[in-house]
Amino acid sequence: MTAPRPDGRRPRVRAPELRGRGWLNTDRPLSLADLRGRFVLADFWTFCCVNCLHVLDELRPLEEKYAGELAAIGVHSPKFVHEADPDALKAAVERYEVAHPVLDDPDLETWQAYTARAWPTLVLVDPEGYVVAQYAVEGTSTRSTPSSPTCARSSSPRARSGGASRPTSRRPRSRAT
């Protein structure tokens, strides 16, 4: 954990740029500079994760309510090899009616830059481009929204399992049973 400065405030951390193979639901690649002046909620998800799908449903009313102030960005970071197929991702975005821009991050470049550790993870970036919150969440709107950080921490897969849900240096391997 980062130590507070002498004035008691924590140092500000600039949000890393959004990098990946490409974008869906937008006519051009997006950068954080394009979104300056708005809060950005980056949703790190994968289409085979039921909790990620719950969060997609919970983002819709937030996107509608705060349309002028909040830009939701999906960062699809696949857990399994088959989830890295761009055609499968495109089909999932259509199937689950994801309307916001989605970054295809098959090599987990953005996932690692934001130090995500679990699916889903939400990262809130302020209008100046600084990370102000990060939550590993599981859905069920009353526990997972950024307005409830205590519950988000206690309900995270890491908190329940006692360890990280996956290493970030490599893709997890499926075990044959």
At 1, the pLDDT band (50, 70, 90 cuts) reads low
What number of other Cβ atoms are within 10 A of residue 48's Cβ?
A: 15
pLDDT in tens, 101-125: 999 999 999 999 999 999 999 999 9
Average pLDDT in the 71-98 region? 97
pLDDT in tens, 148-172: 333 333 333 333 333 333 333 334 4
Strand ranges (DSSP E) for 1-159? 13-14, 22-24, 39-45, 70-76, 102-104, 121-125, 130-136
- pLDDT: is 162 or 90 the higher one? 90
Is the pLDDT at 24 greater than 70, yes or no?
A: yes
At 2, the pLDDT band (50, 70, 90 cuts) reads low
CATH 1.10.357.10 fits 14-28+35-161, yes or no: no
